Amino acid sequence: MNEQKEALKNLEAILTEITAQIRTNRQIQNGTAKSIKDFRWQFDQESSLMNQAIFNNQLGQVHDSCLKTIAALIEILTRT
């Protein structure tokens, strides 16, 4: 259990990464309005990649796809 606690990243650092991912996504969208259904589709795509990376023990891809999955969920939250 102690090994897991030591391996945990600081919550503020993770939230900063999530915020950066959301800002990046919004810049890429360049003001294009997206619906909740669009973000639901994006969530499905990213979470599928995340699950595959977890199954294949690809930690770098797990982290990246997890950030993108969470960002899609937050975009849904901001629209509800």
7-47 confidence digits (pLDDT tens) = 788 999 999 999 999 999 889 887 676 899 999 999 999 99
- Domain ranges for the chain: 34-80
Asked whether the predicted pLDDT for residue 5 surpasses 60, the reply is no
Q: Report CA 36 to chain centroid distance, whole Å.
A: 16
User: pTM of this prediction?
Assistant: 0.82
With 90 as the cut, is the pLDDT of residue 69 above it? yes
In this prediction, residue 31 carries a pLDDT of 66
Residue 47's nearest CA partner among 35, 34, 64 is: 64
Cα–Cα distance measured from residue 10 to residue 28, given in angstroms and rounded to the nearest whole number: 27
